[in-house]
Every structure is written in C-alpha cells, then in structure tokens.
C-alpha cells in the first residue's frame, strides 16, 4: 500500500516537472501563432506516450521479478542520481535554475521569427509534438519502470495523468508559464525517490537481503534526503561560476 502510494507520488511529481516545461512551449506557440496546431501536436505526443506505457508496462510486468528488479532497479538508480545531481547543482548555485519565464520569452521570439503561412501551421505542430514527446519520455520511463517493478503500472500511470491534468487546467486558467512551481524542489524529490527505489530494487536484484525487507525502503528514502541536503549545503559553501 505504502509502496503504491510512493509509486503514485513519484510518477505524479515527475510528470508535473516535465509537463510544466512542455506547457511553457505549447503556451508560447499558442499565444503567438494560434492554438489549433500546438494543441494537436501536444495531444498527438500524449497519445504516443500513452501507447508506449500501455504496451511496455504490462510487457515488463511479465519479466521474472529478480531479472526485472536488477535491470530496472539499476536504470532507475542511474536515472535518479542524474535527477538528484542536477537538482543539487541547481540548489547549491553551481547550475542555473530552470527559468520558465525566460524559456517562454525565447520560445515566443522564435515563434514570431518564423513566418506564418496559410493552411496548417506545421512549425507549431512539429515543435509542440517534439517538445511534449521529449519531456514526456522521461515521465513514461519513470511510469514504466516504477510501475512494472511494483506491479502497479496503472497506479504509476494514474499519478502521471493526475499531474498532467492539473498542469493543463492551471495552464489554461493562467495562460502564462507556471514559473512559480518549485521545479527544482520537485526534481529533488523525484530524484530522491528514484534513487531510493533504484537502490532497493537493484540490491534485491543482485540478491541482497535488506534489513527489515520493505521497511528499509523508507529508511533509504530518509537517508537519501539527508545526504542530498548535506551535499547541497556543502557545495553552497564554495561559490564558483554558474553553469548555464
């Protein structure tokens, strides 16, 4: 039950982070060039992602659990550490924070520079499709891997969909990039969850018996939060140049 809740939350938070970024691009295209083509592109990408999850999720659940835990756990661990690395570098000031307003302005400028031709707006369609697909691929990967390992692909997918719907509704209401969303905090949280799940499952995959079985997952999460915050604090002490 707790495992499923964590899977739901992990997928929802990852989806929120990525969909905020996709929303910025779709909004920029929509307000500059009209809504029809960007919306069509975004919906087409979401359909592709849904098919990917629907096909690969259940297929992975059929793989023997030890093999699955080793492979998927290792991938999740690497993936989670990358998210955590980026979030810590941003939190410590070594990497620039992702700025939705700046991304929006850059996308609006690019969209205005492209002339609008009569008929279907292929530029908006392609950019919107590509952006939503690329941002969504990370979410699909997380949904498939988290879900398959826990035997709860539907739960993970539900988490991603709930976050997607929330981002779309808020985006439609404010019609402005969601720059107030604490993106780096969400990224940090997802990184912690993926790293903890990945460590636990990859460990089980190589035959490790975790003390207290599933209970050690909670301990791993707390431990990961603790050392991640410590790392961000230690890095913040030494000011250096900010990587863009």
Partner 1 sequence: MSGLWHGIVDFVVGDDLGIAIAVLVLLVLAAAAVHFGADAWWLLAAGVPVALWVSLQRARRTAREAS
Using CB under 8 A, which of 43, 55, 67, 78 touches partner 1?
A: 78
Question: CA gyration radius for the chain?
Answer: 19
Residue 48 and residue 45: Cα distance in Å, rounded?
A: 5
**Per-residue mark of binding to partner 1, 135-174 (x: CB under 8 A):** --xx--x---------------------------------
102 lines the binding site for partner 1 (CB under 8 A): no
Spatial contact of 147 and 157, defined as CB atoms under 8 Å apart: yes
81 lines the binding site for partner 1 (CB under 8 A): yes
Residue 178 and residue 184: Cα distance in Å, rounded?
A: 13
Residue carrying structure tokens 């690329």 = 134
Helix (H) or strand (E) holding 151: none
48 lines the binding site for partner 1 (CB under 8 A): no
Residue 65 and residue 60: Cα distance in Å, rounded?
A: 9
Residue 192 and residue 176: Cα distance in Å, rounded?
A: 29
Instruction: Tell me phi and psi for residue 200, to 5 degrees.
Output: -65, -50
210 lines the binding site for partner 1 (CB under 8 A): yes
97 lines the binding site for partner 1 (CB under 8 A): no
Minimum CB separation of residue 174 from partner 1 in Å reads 31
Binding segment for partner 1 (CB under 8 A), chosen from 28-36, 44-52, 81-89, 179-187, is 81-89
Footprint of partner 1 (CB under 8 A): 70, 74-75, 77-79, 81-82, 84-86, 88-89, 94-95, 137-138, 141, 195, 199, 202-203, 205-211, 216, 220, 223-224, 227-228, 231, 235, 238, 240-243
């Amino acid at each position: 039950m707790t495992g499923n809740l964590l899977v739901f939350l992990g997928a929802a938070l990852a989806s929120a982070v990525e969909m905020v970024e996709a929303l910025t691009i779709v909004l920029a295209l929509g307000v500059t060039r009209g809504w029809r083509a960007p919306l069509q592109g975004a919906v087409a990408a979401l359909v592709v992602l849904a098919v990917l999850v629907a096909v690969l999720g259940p297929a992975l659940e059929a793989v023997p659990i030890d093999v699955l835990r080793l492979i998927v756990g290792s991938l999740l661990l690497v993936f989670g550490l990358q998210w955590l690395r980026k979030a810590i570098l941003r939190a410590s000031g070594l990497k620039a924070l992702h700025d939705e307003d700046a991304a929006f302005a850059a996308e609006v400028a690019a969209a205005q520079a492209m002339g609008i031709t009569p008929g279907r707006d292929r530029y908006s369609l392609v950019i919107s499709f590509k952006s939503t697909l690329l941002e969504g691929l990370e979410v699909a990967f997380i949904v498939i891997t988290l879900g398959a390992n826990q035997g709860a692909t539907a739960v993970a997918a539900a988490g991603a969909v709930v976050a997607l719907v929330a981002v779309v509704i808020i985006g439609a209401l404010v019609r402005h990039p969601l720059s107030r969303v604490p993106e780096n905090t969400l990224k940090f949280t997802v990184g912690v969850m993926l790293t903890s799940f990945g460590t636990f499952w990859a460990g089980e995959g190589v035959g490790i018996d975790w003390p207290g079985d599933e209970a050690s997952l909670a301990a791993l999460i707390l431990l990961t939060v603790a050392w991640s915050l410590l790392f961000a604090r230690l890095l913040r002490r030494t000011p250096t140049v900010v990587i863009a």
